[in-house]
Structure 1
């Protein structure tokens, strides 16, 4: 697990509890807490875990789950420089660009694009909480490795699925989390307000993502926006995304890797995404 925040902590801790061999890559206070106190999920007793300070110290591994936030300052080549021979990189970020950025470092044959769904909160070093919604991970890539990863995650309580059309799912997730995260931060409002009071703007943002995906050759379904809005209607009204919370708290955030990625991919194809451009300019 490279990164022990919300997703890395919850997935990794769940895998350890299910009996799998997991090593966590962490730094600073998080590394100290993991070594001395363990990893705490919700209010459960701490889970003893194996934690080291760098990927080079991890030893042989099958899969590296990349669970760090990819900000404008993230150096993926440096982060993956010590990737063990034969290991694959499973992507978890909410970004339509990160899979290709990882592949530029390790090759597409070792890249496993993936999509996480669920509201996980990193509440402190070695502490993660889950606040409702799905607990799932869709992933694609090399069939043998994906099959083993999916089986391990399912045994740990994560609804994991192998998908041949994973890039479609990456864009569908972006249609939801990028739009609700950025609009939520701008309006300083949770999902319940976005899907009601601000629903026309939320839908317009989703239409921009749809147009950008299609222009880049991604075969989204005809009803993708309607399905995404229906999904939003089923989620907790108080939900906020991690990007939303990070932007309001002044922490390092994923605005560039989420909203900026849509703007860049739209610009290459001449797609008008003026609402995304506005959000990037105002929130950045």
Structure 2
């Protein structure tokens, strides 16, 4: 008989996004295995609208602890993927499916070298989540959708489970365009807040708005060349959204810079530049921003 304990989910990266997705699967009846991390956890919890729910989990420190797991969530930041390669290799089996909950448009390419024949399920995540303590996070919903998945058998199966656990999901025949659409906001708000040190209100400054438009316009051209069905209207919608986020909003890249952590620029701006290089598209403003971000040392801003 197929019980939740016979179908555990491995969570590689129990940060804000990983906890949110794991909590939905736990709510849907799956048992959760948390992989590695600095501090052991025996429960995970999510607080939403002032209500806190928790679930027991199993914590393992050796990849042998997820032998036999056929579902995993990879939610480390993109630039930490290599650091968890030993966990990913434990999933390199044809019967395993790996949900990649990372930013950018290169999820498959980033994870595939480590998981071999496993089925990779890329995603586009819209959750606004703040990790408040080891194993615990505060969840806020943004818009009408929490996560988009590919319209295939693996994507549909995971979407159904996440829906059962309270996530608002969609399955997309053209996930590439969905991912590039989100990338437009990520390559503007994240770098521009990190470089200026200001919160998201900086996107309303006329000079910054002009830079943001150029960044997005270049990315639209690179994305089109890469197969995404982007139009100029995507730029207008993305900019309007960024200029109307709640007062005081920040970005993960700004917070990482303030905390002296490495920045996740390569999966964002770097992806635009690589796509442009593959297709012979000129993206000078994105190249300039990439150079500026790459020059930042991981230390606290003065």
In the alignment, structure 1 residue 23 sits paired with structure 2 residue 28? no
Q: CA separation in 1, counterparts of 2:117 and 2:189?
A: 29
Aligned mate of 1:40, from 19, 42, 45: 45
Number of the residue aligned with 1:90: 99
RMSD: 2.4
Structure 1 residues 117, 64: CA separation in 2 closer, same or farther (over 3 Å shift)? same
Number of the residue aligned with 2:82: 74
Q: Deviations over 1:14-59 (max 9, x none)?
A: 3223432332223221xx1x12xx2232362543222222443124
Q: CA separation in 2, counterparts of 1:65 and 1:161?
A: 17
Number of the residue aligned with 2:268: 258
Aligned mate of 2:177, from 163, 168, 177: 168
- Judge conservation of contact 1:20–1:152 (CA < 8 Å) in 2: no
In the alignment, structure 1 residue 204 sits paired with structure 2 residue 214? yes
More strand by share: 2
Number of the residue aligned with 1:57: 65
Q: Deviations over 1:102-159 (max 9, x none)?
A: 2344468712121000211223322212245246110116x22222210111122211
SS in 1 for 2:89: coil
Number of the residue aligned with 2:233: 223
For structure 1, the residue ranges without an aligned partner over 5 or more in a row are: none
SS in 2 for 1:237: coil
Higher relative contact order, chain-length normalized (CA < 8 Å, sep 6+): 1
TM-score by length of 2: 0.82
Count of matched residue positions in the alignment of Structure 1 and Structure 2 = 278
Number of the residue aligned with 1:138: 148
Q: CA separation in 2, counterparts of 1:189 and 1:203?
A: 18
Number of the residue aligned with 1:248: 258
Q: CA separation in 2, counterparts of 1:120 and 1:190?
A: 17
Moved over 6 A (4+): none
TM-score by length of 1: 0.87
Q: CA separation in 1, counterparts of 2:254 and 2:24?
A: 26
- Judge conservation of contact 2:24–2:164 (CA < 8 Å) in 1: no
Per the TM alignment, residue 75 of structure 1 is displaced from its structure 2 partner at its CA by: 4.7
SS in 2 for 1:90: strand
In the alignment, structure 1 residue 152 sits paired with structure 2 residue 161? yes
**Is 49-58 or 1-10 further displaced after alignment?**
49-58
Q: CA separation in 2, counterparts of 1:72 and 1:47?
A: 26
- Judge conservation of contact 1:56–1:83 (CA < 8 Å) in 2: no
Structure 1 residues 109, 72: CA separation in 2 closer, same or farther (over 3 Å shift)? closer
For structure 2, the residue ranges without an aligned partner over 5 or more in a row are: 1-10, 295-302
- Judge conservation of contact 2:102–2:124 (CA < 8 Å) in 1: yes
